[in-house]
Amino acid sequence: MPSARDVKSRIEAAIPGADADVQTADEVHFSATVRATAFDGLSRVAQHRLVMDVFDDELGGSIHALALKTEVP
Amino acid sequence: MSDNPVRDAIAEAISSNDVILFMKGTPEHPACGFSARTVAMLEALQTPFAAVDILPDPRIRQELSALSSWPTIPQLFHDGELIGGCDIVSEMYESGELAEALGAQPRADAPQDAPAGADPAPAPLGIENRLS
């Protein structure tokens, strides 16, 4: 099961300049706030897709849920 | 028309309804907390919306996600565009952007924070008795 730190480092590795704050109580349900300059000019849907694409097939599998908030710094 | 009738039906539903929510369960009986919250927000804004229950046939969810490039349910569409899932809809509800985007008139008692929604009912098993 991924830890909050795994999820954080994968988001930050995949999205240039991203800063992720990730919480999980059970390593299955995650909650993340991601700030990234890469989000600038994108719709919220496009911002969320950038993050969700990092986990692709794992969403709904080993990552049961990822509650997400995106911000432009 | 493609040779994929389920995808065609979904695309048709999205383009022919101003506001449409793909959810687990129905607005009256949501089968998931995220779907329930999204319904509660739309109801607080007094927005008329079409709703599609994705549970009866797994192809609905599969084709919807292929079409929208969005993995999770619920999914709210307005004017043929994906607004988002429960997180984005909640954020936009609380900032007032959702009411603005939908041209909605919130109920006088609409809560400031995204409403919790009704307790979800368990997903229906969908067993149909054809023996009798």
For residue A13, the domain's CATH number is 3.30.300.90
Is B84 in the A-facing interface, judged by CB distances under 8 Å?
yes
At residue B51, φ and ψ (nearest 5 deg) are: -135, 140
Chain B residues within 8 A of A68 when measuring between CB atoms: 87
Burial of B30 from C-beta contacts in 10 A (0-12 / 13-18 / 19+): buried
Query: Cα separation of A11 and A1, whole Å?
Result: 16
Residue ranges in chain A modelled with pLDDT below 50: none
Bridge partners, A35 (sequence order): A19, A71
Q: Searching chain A, which residue's CA lies closest to the CA of residue B69?
A: A49
Average pLDDT, chain B: 91
SS3 B85: coil
Per the model's pLDDT, the better-predicted residue between B85 and B132 turns out to be: B85
The count of C-alpha atoms lying within 13 angstroms of the C-alpha of B109, restricted to the half-sphere facing its C-beta, is 1
> What single DSSP character describes residue B77?
E
Chain-chain contact of A44 with B82 (C-beta, under 8 angstroms): no
Chain-chain contact of A69 with B71 (C-beta, under 8 angstroms): no
The answer to pTM > 0.90 is no
Class of domain B5-102: alpha beta
User: Is the peptide bond preceding residue B74 cis, with omega within 30 degrees of 0?
Assistant: yes
Binding-site residues on chain A for chain B (CB distance < 8 A): 44-45, 48-49, 52, 59-60, 65, 67-69
Which structural domain, as residue segments, surrounds residue A12? 4-71
Chain A residues within 8 A of B69 when measuring between CB atoms: 49
Query: Cα separation of B60 and B68, whole Å?
Result: 12
Whether residue B122 is predicted with pLDDT greater than 90 in this model: the reply is no
Whether residue B2 is predicted with pLDDT greater than 80 in this model: the reply is no
pLDDT confidence band for B121 (50 / 70 / 90): confident
Query: Cα separation of A41 and B63, whole Å?
Result: 28
Chain A: closest CA distance from residue B67 (Å): 13
Whether residue B130 is predicted with pLDDT greater than 80 in this model: the reply is no
pLDDT confidence band for B123 (50 / 70 / 90): low
Per the model's pLDDT, the better-predicted residue between B118 and B67 turns out to be: B67
Chain B: closest CA distance from residue A12 (Å): 20
Q: What's the ipTM?
A: 0.82
CB environment A21-39: b (16+ within 10 A), e (fewer): ebebeeeeebbbebbbebb
Place of tokens 């609409």: B110
pLDDT tens readout for residues B5-48? 999 999 999 999 999 999 999 999 999 999 999 999 999 999 99
Task: Give the total number of structural domains in chain A.
Answer: 1
Q: Which of A49, A59, A69 sits opposite B87 (nearest CB)?
A: A69
Chain-chain contact of B72 with A59 (C-beta, under 8 angstroms): yes
Chain-chain contact of B88 with A49 (C-beta, under 8 angstroms): no
Question: Quick one: pLDDT at residue B126?
Answer: 66
